[in-house]
Amino acid sequence: MPEAKNQDAIALLKQDHRTVEELFAQFEKASGEGRKERLAREICLELSVHSAIEEEIFYPACEGKVDDELLKESYVEHDAAKLLIAEISAAEGESDEFFDSKVKVLQEEIEHHVQEEERRETGLFSQARKAELDMDALGERLAARKQELTERFKTEGLPKPQLTTMADVSV
Ligand SMILES: [Fe+2]
Ligand SMILES: [Fe+2]
């Protein structure tokens, strides 16, 4: 479905959250390896684009204007999700007995993260709104970058995870 034009930043990001929640719900109900794998791939694509545009555009705009601890936790939560996303993207459903569990744990992590962003009053988005960021201008940049990255990831595949907060451990 094409994005509505001229969405403000928070509307766009919340719409992404709803899209991915719907995909997780479909995954839970899905049967058949092929269908599950397709849905998992879609979830990974959506989340990869979403976390990239937040980290490139939205989070930096929040810097100095929202609770610093909350913002830092957001980056760490993204990194934790990127590891599972990389794992899920690499897995073949039939040969990984933990495939469904990985998707489930990713879903739980994302639910928590979305809550931290959307919580009323104290969530990241509420704080950003109170700080009077230019949500229309940010929305335009997010939408443009989202389109660009979605096309790139669809043709080239998901990139190797770029971790923002974790450098000391390799597995
Ligand atoms: Fe988000
Ligand atoms: Fe996020």
Q: Which residues have C-beta under 5 Å from ligand 2, the single-atom ion?
A: 54
Provide the pLDDT for residue 94: 58
- CB of 119 within 8 A of CB of 17? no
The Cα–Cα gap between 118 and 163 comes to 23
102 to 41, 87, 140, 155: CA distances (angstroms): 13, 8, 33, 25
- CB of 142 within 8 A of CB of 57? yes
**Cα 134 to ligand 1 centre (Å):** 18
**Cα 102 to ligand 2 centre (Å):** 19
The Cα–Cα gap between 143 and 105 comes to 28
Block residue for tokens 């971790």: 163
Provide the pLDDT for residue 5: 65
- pLDDT tens-digit profile, the chain (171 residues): 555 567 999 999 999 999 999 999 999 999 988 899 999 999 999 999 999 999 999 999 999 999 999 999 999 999 999 999 999 998 865 578 899 999 999 999 999 999 999 999 999 999 999 999 999 999 999 999 999 999 999 999 999 888 999 986 766
Long-range CB contacts (< 8 A, 24+ apart) of 159-166? 159/48, 160/86, 161/79, 161/82, 161/83, 161/85, 161/86, 162/82, 163/79, 163/82, 163/83, 164/55, 164/75, 164/78, 164/79, 165/72, 165/75, 165/76, 165/79, 166/76, 166/79
- The whole-model pTM stands at 0.93
Express each pLDDT in 87-100 by its tens digit: 999 886 557 889 99
**Cα 120 to ligand 2 centre (Å):** 16
Provide the pLDDT for residue 167: 83
Helix axis angle for 99-118 and 68-90, nearest 10°, is: 160
**Cα 17 to ligand 1 centre (Å):** 6
Of the ligands numbered here, which is closest to the C-alpha atom of 55? Answer: 2
Express each pLDDT in 45-78 by its tens digit: 999 999 999 999 999 999 999 999 999 999 999 9
**Cα 85 to ligand 2 centre (Å):** 14
**Cα 54 to ligand 2 centre (Å):** 6
